[in-house]
Structure formats: C-alpha cells, structure tokens
C-alpha cells in the first residue's frame, strides 16, 4: 500500500496529506474526497487578502460532502431553470474536491494524469458543487479529477487601492499549488496536470497561462468557450466603484470589509444584474495588475508565454443563444437596434455586412449574437492558435461543439457541452439544458477526447496547422472540418 494512504482509516478510503488524514467515500471503484481546504477561510483579517495556506487538523477529517461555496446569488430567471447553482453555507469556501480511481496509484507507479476543473459563471456565479461537474466519469477512465472553488464577485475580483487585485485568480493559483504538493497522495502525477474550464473559468485559464505566478503548475490546458480577456486597473475598478456608490461607502477594501456580506451581495446583484457577457453592462473583469498579470494575457500569450503548454480550445456554434433566446433578444432586436449595438460593440460595418449576406434567413438579433460571440470567443481563439503556430509552440488543437439542444430553441448554446465533457448526460441538472434525448455516443466521444488529451497531449485529431483543422462534435458523428465559416473569420482581418 502507498505510504500516502492512511491505512488506519476505517469505513472509507483514506488519504494522509501534509495537513492531516482525510476519509472519503467509495463507489464502484472511484473514491471521492470532497470539501478539502486548500487555503484558510477568507474572513476577518483575511477578507480581501491573498489566500493563506490551509492549517493542519488533528484526527481524521471527513471529506464526504461538498464544502462551502463562495458568497453568491442564484442566476436570475429564466437562466436559473437552465443553470443549476447550488449554495453550501459556511466561511471555508476555499476548498476543492478530488475523484480518483481506487485503490490509488502509489508514488512508485508514476501516478495518473490529473485534471483540474475551474468553473464558469461570469465571475459571480457557480461552484464545484454543480452536479454536472461530477468527476466520477474521469476517475472511471483513469484520471484524477480535481474541482475548485474560488472567491467570486467583488470579494474575488473587486479592485481596491488597499488590497491585492485578482484575488479569485490568486485563489486558483493557490489551489494549483496545493495540487502540486498534495496530488500524489491521491494517486496523481504532479507533473501531468491539465487545467480546464469553461466561460469565466476558461478566461481564468487564459490568464493563468499568461501569469508568471502560475508557471510550472500545469502541463496542459483546455479553454472551453473563453479567450484571453482582461482590463486595465482603471476600467476593472468601475464595477467596484458602482457598488461602493450604491452602498454609500468608500471604494476601499477596508470599507467593504465592514459591510454585512448579505448587504454587499444585494448591492453587487443590483449593479451587475442587467449585464451579460454578450451585451455587456456592469460586470467583473480580470485586471492587468502588474503582478498576477504584468500585461494583457492575449499580448503575453502572443509573445510566447506558456509556449511549452499543450492547448485545446474551442467554442459552441450558437454561444449567444443562452443569453439572447430566454431573454427574448432575438425577437426584440430589429435592424435599427442591431446597427446601434454593433456601433456600441465596435464591430466594423464591413464585418457585419459579411455576416448579414451569409445569413439572409436569420433575424437581426441572431446575426448580432453571432457577431458578438465571434468577436469575444472564436476570433480571439483563432488568433491565439495562429500566434502559437508561428511561434513553434507545443501543439494546439481546436474544436467546435455543434449538437443542437431542443430546449427552448437554444441549439448549441453556451455551456451545453459541459454534460458531454463530464459524461453526465443522465443527471436531471444536465437535462435541464440538453433535454432527455441527448446522444450518449457524442458524450462518449467528447469525454474520451478530453481524457486522451490529459493523458497524452493528443485529443485524437490533427493539431492546428495552416489548413485550420477544427474537430466538430455534432450534429452527427464527430468530424474534422478545415477552416469552418472562413469568410466570416477573414472579414475580421481586413
């Protein structure tokens, strides 16, 4: 038995970590250890401060229930019915979960590939307790799966003159440091870590790829429906200042630390409630702070940051429909409103003309949504892949998820691929977005590609080259397509 396994733990799988002994749960050859603290609770003197390492405990710590989630509010209707967002009370929100094949591999076995999941949610929602993110299927297939909680909203991404910026990113770096130091105890190989995430989690990963503070903490990365994105300190501060104005307090960490957490959440929700990733509005941003991020992550990556990290990234065909369809924007946006919003979004008329001419049957709101999603996601990903190809970096792979959900006409919308990647189509929380008849064969193929990438660095198709190969997952069987919608992509280059 491995020296790391706590042999004296009874009635469950046990692991001895540097901080103490953990007892998890075992089912069908997969051990789960939930709610493990990787940093101290960010309360009291540690509120609005960089994460401090978790303290040791005595005896055996039960690890059979999810830990506390970061302070947040549920998604507003109608998204609350589509995106489950459970809340677990408590202050110790800087925690993570591990699913691993059992018995765990010992140090002499070399260890298994590790995947670390960073959830999305616009930096204000989400947690590792979302049922769709259950790590059982990854562990079943020989991967040690870790999922992470991090601070959200103003407590994680507020910008203050008297506190470090990017606290949520610093939490993620602290969690990856914990993985580096502890994952061998769970049978994982600390030198074969793949970090992956979706939406705000993917944007976070792009920042981690660019950050000198995260260098060496992972070998591979997966960016799902995200791209390098950050704002200057002055721009990123605006949402914090708007919340301060609503609270009638100074925009300082000292003042915010004195505000009741529920009152702070209420003010944050009032300020950010009308924003969304496509139409903008007040929202939180990763900040170029000169420390976690010395410069914009896109510029750093174009200049060769993480050139040795293998990268898999992609988008969904109809990203925008998650925000546009339930809210009625596809119906309400006419030609005049479309033109106004295109100007507001700084999308050149020549680019819009190409999209309109190529989509004559689509409504103005639909064309607007595709343009906005391409500007935010697909075009930056293609640019990053091109930069990496020119710089002779480690391999880059692109995918597109295109299976159309029948729910509300959402088609292949933002977040739909998650149940396929995690192979959790049978869960009711997944079916809220997919409906009851999502194709298991497609989930099997997509999940297997992620597993293969984590284990070998090759998801099973040709890496990026001048022909622009993109693996498309649905509709139908997965297939490799070269340069999809190339006329639209090229319009952005003119």
- Catalytic annotation present for 414: yes
C-beta separation of 71 from 19 below 8 A: no
C-beta separation of 384 from 302 below 8 A: yes
Separation of alpha carbons 461 and 447, rounded Å: 14
What φ, ψ does residue 490 adopt, rounded to 5°?
-65, -25
Altogether, the residues listed in the chain come to a count of 494
Measured CA angle at 379 (ends 230, 157), to 5 deg: 20
Separation of alpha carbons 130 and 417, rounded Å: 15
Tell me how far the alpha carbon of residue 202 is from its chain's centroid: 4
From 106, 139, 116, select the one nearest 38 (Cα to Cα).
Answer: 116
Cα 464 to Cα 292, 342, 387, 461, 480, distances in angstroms: 29, 31, 11, 9, 11
Reading the block at residue 94, the tokens are 């800087």
| Residues in Cβ contact with 168 at an 8 Å cutoff, skipping those fewer than 6 apart | 123, 150, 151, 152, 156, 157, 204
- Catalytic annotation present for 229: no
Using CB atoms within 10 Å of the CB of residue 146, give its burial: 0 to 12 exposed, 13 to 18 middle, 19+ buried.
buried
Catalytic: which of 310, 319, 366, 417? 319
C-beta separation of 16 from 5 below 8 A: yes
Catalytic: which of 119, 296, 329, 414? 414
CB atoms within 10 A of CB 447: 21
- Catalytic annotation present for 282: no
Reading the block at residue 355, the tokens are 């999209």
Q: Catalytic amino acids?
A: 199, 319, 414
């Amino acid at each position: 038995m491995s020296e790391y396994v706590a042999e004296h733990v009874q009635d469950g799988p046990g692991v001895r970590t540097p901080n103490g002994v953990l007892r998890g749960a075992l089912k069908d050859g997969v051990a789960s250890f939930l709610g493990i603290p990787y940093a101290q609770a960010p309360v009291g003197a540690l509120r609005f401060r960089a994460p401090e390492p978790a303290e040791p405990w005595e005896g055996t710590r039960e690890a059979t229930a999810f830990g506390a989630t970061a302070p947040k509010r549920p998604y507003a209707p109608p998204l609350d019915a589509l995106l489950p967002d459970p809340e677990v009370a408590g202050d110790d929100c800087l925690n993570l979960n591990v699913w691993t094949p059992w018995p765990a591999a010992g140090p002499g076995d070399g260890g298994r590939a590790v995947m670390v999941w960073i959830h999305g949610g616009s930096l204000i929602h989400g947690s590792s307790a979302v049922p769709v993110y259950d790590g059982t299927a990854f562990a079943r297939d020989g991967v040690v799966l870790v999922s992470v909680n991090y601070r959200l909203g103003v407590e994680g991404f507020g910008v203050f003159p008297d506190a470090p910026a990017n606290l949520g990113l610093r939490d993620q770096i602290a969690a990856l440091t914990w993985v580096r130091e502890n994952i061998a105890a769970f049978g994982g190989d600390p030198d074969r870590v793949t970090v992956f995430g979706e939406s705000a989690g993917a944007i976070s990963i792009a920042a981690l790829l660019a950050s000198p503070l995260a260098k060496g903490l992972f070998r591979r990365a997966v960016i799902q429906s995200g791209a390098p994105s950050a704002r200057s300190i002055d721009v990123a501060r605006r949402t914090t200042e708007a919340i301060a104005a609503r609270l009638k307090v100074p925009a300082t960490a000292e003042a915010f630390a004195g505000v009741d957490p529920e009152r702070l959440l209420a003010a944050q929700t009032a300020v950010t409630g009308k924003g969304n990733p496509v139409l903008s509005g007040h929202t939180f941003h990763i900040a170029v702070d000169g420390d976690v991020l010395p410069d914009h992550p896109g510029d750093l990556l174009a200049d060769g940051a993480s050139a040795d990290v293998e990268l898999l990234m992609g988008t969904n065909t109809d990203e925008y429909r998650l925000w546009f369809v339930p809210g009625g924007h596809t119906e309400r946006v006419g030609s005049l409103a479309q033109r106004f919003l295109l100007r507001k979004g700084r999308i050149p008329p020549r680019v819009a003309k190409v999209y309109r001419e190529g989509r004559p049957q689509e409504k103005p709101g639909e064309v607007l949504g595709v343009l906005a999603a391409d500007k935010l996601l697909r075009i930056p990903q293609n640019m990053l892949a091109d930069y990496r190809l020119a710089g002779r970096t480690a391999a880059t792979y692109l995918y597109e998820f295109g299976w159309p959900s029948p729910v509300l006409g959402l088609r292949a919308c933002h977040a739909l691929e998650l149940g396929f990647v995690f192979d959790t189509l049978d869960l009711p929380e997944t079916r809220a977005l997919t409906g009851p008849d999502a194709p298991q064969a497609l989930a099997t193929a997509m999940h297997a590609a992620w597993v293969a990438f984590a284990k070998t660095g090759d998801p099973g198709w040709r890496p990026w080259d001048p022909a622009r190969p993109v693996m498309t997952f649905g509709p139908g069987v997965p297939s490799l397509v070269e340069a999809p919608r190339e006329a639209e992509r090229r319009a952005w280059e003119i």
